[in-house]
Amino acid sequence: MNIQNETLKHLECSKCGEIYPHTEPQNVCTACGKPLLARYALEQLAGTWQRDTLLSRPASLWRYKELLPISNPEDIVTLGETMTPLVHAKRLGETFGLTEVWVKDESRLPTGSFKARGLAMAVSKAKSLGLKALAIPSAGNAATALAVYAAAAGIAAHIFMPQDTPVFNKQTCQLAGANVTLIDGLITDAGRIVAERKEQEGWFDVSTLKEPYRVEGKKTMGFELAEQCNWELPDVIIYPTGGGTGIVGMWKGFAELEAIGWIGKKRPRFISVQSTGCAPIVKAWEEGATEATPWREAQTVASGLRVPQAIGDFLILEAIRKSEGAAIAVTDEAIREAMQLLPTTEGLLTCPEGAATVAALKQLVSKGMIEPSERVVLFNTGGYQS
């Protein structure tokens, strides 16, 4: 066996600090019910791991292996998670009077969305722990990603998602041989069903932030961004927020990079974007609250943003607040309009969630919240699907 130097130390509750071993399957903190986060031997890495080592490694998220939770390379389940391009959207920027608008184009990943990052990590960890059946509540793209990674690993996938989930997601899950249950409700209702049945069925729950390793996959967006910006983080990140793993992951990833001495103190202002049809984080941020209240009758064209309640709400809000960012809502009408802006100016096709960041940029500029020369990064979290 090819075991590398273990850098993952343990899991720690994000709220109460309780410690859990990573050598056994873990969900949330059994003491307070909040998400567990992976902790690494950062002091040890600080003196020994140099940025230059990356230069000779493949352009994949696995290049950051020292800060990833998989220690045995044989456990890695991969479909080719390429580093995604950071595209200078010059013509789009000009239309808003900005010179430094960039798009991190996550549509290039397996399954066409950044959910591949999280599920590659969660399924690899599940494999290393010998798990045989995984269950997930999903608004769509996480289901597709779990279905294909589980198939590749030879692990069963049990998927629960809303009846009106995009056809692409329903079909891809079927094609990959997952067990799919369509429910009359939203992702939160699907989550309840998984929670009720998992024990009896012997499923391991891989819900966002109720499973500790998806966020580790998502944080690699931040690692790539830092590396692509030559270790000088941008001024603003505009991110379409559902369960919030991306924001929480990048915030965590930046702290880790600082701890090992690869970046300085500067952080981008995190702008969390939601739809006016489902904006629990925006509402909480506007009210100055540290937690969000569940959104009722959530509805939006951006299915990835249709998350009425996020278990990591306090972590999302903390990252927004500490980064001196903001949370803003855009209407579905503005999202539909923005669907054409990146294709027509840059030739980049976007998902509705990615278009929401363009609609948000427009709003931020009109409110004077971005300076003309600031470097702004929009996350196009997935590709266009009809």
Ligand X SMILES: *Cc1c(COP(=O)(O)O)cnc(C)c1O
Structure tokens at 61: 């998220």
**Stretch 336-375: interaction string toward ligand X, x if CB under 6 A:** ---------------x-x----------------------
- The secondary structure of residue 75, as a DSSP letter, is G
Q: Which of 110, 222, 244, 280 binds ligand X (CB under 6 A)?
A: 244
The DSSP secondary structure of 154-184, one letter per residue, reads: T-EEEEEEETTS-HHHHHHHHHTT-EEEEES
Q: Pick from 242, 268, 277, 325 the residue near ligand X by CB under 6 A.
A: 242
The nearer residue to ligand X, 240 or 268, going by C-beta atoms, is 240
Q: How far is the CB of 218 from ligand X (least distance, A)?
A: 6
Candidate residues 169, 241, 300, 350; the one interacting with ligand X per rule CB under 6 A: 241
- Using CB under 6 A, which of 22, 34, 63, 115 touches ligand X? 115
How would you class 241 by CB atoms within 10 Å of its CB: exposed for 0-12, middle for 13-18, buried for 19 or more? buried
By CB under 6 A, is residue 214 in contact with ligand X? no
Span near ligand X by CB under 6 A; candidates 234-242, 290-298, 336-344, 364-372: 234-242
Q: How far apart (Å, rounded) are the C-alpha atoms in residues 71 and 132?
A: 20
Residue of the chain from 137, 212, 304, 325 that contacts ligand X (CB under 6 A): 304
Nearer to ligand X, 129 or 168 (CB): 168
Type of residue numbered 20:
Y
Does 113 sit near ligand X (CB under 6 A)?
A: yes
CB 114 within 8 A of CB 103: no
Among 93, 110, 162, 243, binds ligand X (CB under 6 A): 243
Closer CB to ligand X, 253 or 304, in the complex:
304
Strand-strand pairing, 8-13 and 36-40: antiparallel
- What phi and psi values does residue 15 have, to the nearest 5 degrees? -110, -55
CA distance readout (Å), 185 to 42, 194, 217, 317: 42, 13, 28, 26
Mark the segment that binds ligand X (CB under 6 A) among 77-85, 149-157, 183-191, 243-251: 243-251
How do the residues of the chain divide into helix, strand and coil, expressed in percent and rounded to 5?
A: 40, 20, 40
**Residue 121: Cβ within 10 Å count:** 30
The pair of three-digit structure tokens given for residue 150, joined into one six-digit string: 């589980």
Instruction: Select the residue interacting with ligand X from 7, 84, 141, 357 (CB under 6 A).
Output: 141
Radius of gyration in angstroms for the set of CA atoms belonging to the chain, rounded to a whole number: 19
Q: According to the binding rule CB under 6 A, does residue 111 interact with ligand X? A: no
Q: How far is the CB of 249 from ligand X (least distance, A)?
A: 7
Q: Which residue's Cβ has the minimum distance to ligand X?
A: 304
Q: Which of 7, 84, 124, 381 binds ligand X (CB under 6 A)?
A: 381
* Stretch of 12-20, 126-134, 235-243, 318-326 contacting ligand X, by CB under 6 A: 235-243
Closer residue to ligand X (CB): 42 or 225: 225
List of residues 6+ apart from 292 with CB closer than 8 A: 280, 281, 283, 284, 309, 310, 313, 317
Q: Could you list the residues that contact ligand X (CB under 6 A)?
A: 113, 115, 141, 208, 240-246, 304, 351, 353, 381-382
